[in-house]
């Protein structure tokens, strides 16, 4: 039996459990809760392995699900319907293509100007530096589902070959269901003037001052030799 054959029914059951505890949460919110609270270590506190080596992001994803923490994640990355339209614009879909999907007339130019850096509000980051690119900016929104008057500070481990800048570095939530946004700049320190490619991985975590919550997001960075 494959790992996926075991993982799928278990995670589906956990998603149903979270939905029963939070019936108003969207599928994206449930996914966020599962991903941002996952463990990167095994039951002995050691790194999860892929064969005889520590598992990388493409093997482990966000980590091993933690049901107890996922029920009460503190913060969630939720996705609104309009985020999907922004994502279609980011992917280069035409106005007619988007209308055939959404039955809405939209201006991608206006949407991308307004929502610069936003696409889908995923609880993970995937950054691709194409040939000649050295800088990327991404925006994310977090919604407080934990406690009022909560303060979160930033911890991060930048992928090798990348420097990161995050603003703000502290998020203060006064109310439940309050949403705040932040920006992340990824600056490549690699020179791509010859034909090569590469991959790096890191992690961005928002930690509550009370110590009750750790909201983790995996980061993958890819360098492509194509434009």
Taking a C-beta distance cutoff of 8 angstroms, is the pair 90, 112 a contact?
Answer: yes
Tokens 């790096």 identify what position? 200
Same domain? 92 vs 68: no
Between 147 and 226, where is the model more confident?
Answer: 147
Same domain? 21 vs 101: no
Q: Who contacts 114 (Cβ-Cβ below 8 Å, separation ≥6)?
A: none
Give the model's pLDDT for residue 196.
52
Same domain? 14 vs 58: yes
Domain end position, chosen among 72, 91, 113? 72
Q: What is the mean pLDDT of residues 66-89?
A: 94
Q: What angle do CA 129, 135, 136 make, to 5 degrees?
A: 80
Q: What is the mean pLDDT of residues 5-20?
A: 91
Domain count, the chain: 2
Domain end position, chosen among 39, 54, 72? 72
Same domain? 23 vs 121: no
Q: Domain of 215: which CATH number?
A: 2.60.40.2310
Give the model's pLDDT for residue 73.
98
Same domain? 107 vs 210: yes
Same domain? 109 vs 198: yes
Range of the domain at 159: 76-223
The answer to whether residue 180 scores a pLDDT higher than 70 is yes
In this predicted model, what pLDDT tens digit does every residue of 34-75 receive, in sequence order?
999 999 988 888 988 888 888 889 888 999 999 999 999 999
Taking a C-beta distance cutoff of 8 angstroms, is the pair 33, 78 a contact?
Answer: no
User: Cβ of 20: how many Cβ atoms within 10 Å?
Assistant: 9
Same domain? 191 vs 80: yes
The residue among 72, 62, 63 whose CA lies nearest residue 33 is 72
Taking a C-beta distance cutoff of 8 angstroms, is the pair 155, 207 a contact?
Answer: yes
Q: What is the mean pLDDT of residues 72-79?
A: 98
The answer to whether residue 136 scores a pLDDT higher than 70 is yes
The answer to whether residue 13 scores a pLDDT higher than 60 is yes
Confidence of residue 5 (pLDDT cuts 50, 70, 90): confident
CA distances from 221 to 50, 76, 87 (A): 20, 23, 19
Phi-psi map region of 167: left, alpha, beta (phi>0 left; psi -120 to 50 alpha): beta
In this predicted model, what pLDDT tens digit does every residue of 188-225 receive, in sequence order?
987 655 455 588 999 999 999 999 999 999 999 999 87
Same domain? 14 vs 105: no
Same domain? 66 vs 119: no
Give me the residues paired with residue 184 across strands: 138, 166
Element (H, E) at 186: strand 179-188
What mean pLDDT, rounded, does the chain reach? 91
DSSP state of 113: H
pTM above 0.75, yes or no: yes
């Amino acid at each position: 039996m494959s790992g996926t054959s075991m993982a799928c029914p278990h995670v589906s059951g956990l998603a149903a459990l979270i939905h029963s505890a939070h019936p108003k949460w969207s599928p994206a919110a449930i996914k966020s809760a599962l991903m941002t609270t996952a463990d990167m270590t095994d039951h002995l506190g050691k790194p999860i392995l892929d064969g005889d080596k520590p598992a990388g992001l493409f093997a482990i994803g966000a980590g091993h699900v933690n049901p107890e923490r996922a029920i009460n994640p503190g913060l969630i990355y939720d996705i609104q319907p309009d985020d999907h339209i922004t994502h279609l614009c980011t992917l280069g879909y035409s106005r007619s293509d988007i209308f055939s999907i959404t039955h809405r007339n939209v201006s991608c130019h206006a949407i991308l100007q307004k929502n610069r850096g936003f696409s889908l509000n995923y609880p993970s980051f995937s950054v691709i530096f194409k040939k000649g690119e050295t800088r990327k900016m991404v925006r994310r929104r977090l919604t407080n589902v934990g406690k009022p008057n909560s303060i979160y500070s930033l911890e991060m481990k930048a992928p090798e070959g990348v420097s990161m800048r995050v603003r703000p570095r502290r998020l203060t939530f006064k109310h439940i269901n309050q949403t705040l946004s932040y920006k992340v700049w990824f600056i490549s320190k690699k020179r791509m003037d010859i034909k090569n490619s590469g991959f790096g991985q890191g992690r961005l975590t928002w930690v509550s001052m009370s110590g009750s919550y750790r909201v983790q997001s995996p980061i993958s960075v890819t360098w492509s030799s194509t434009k």
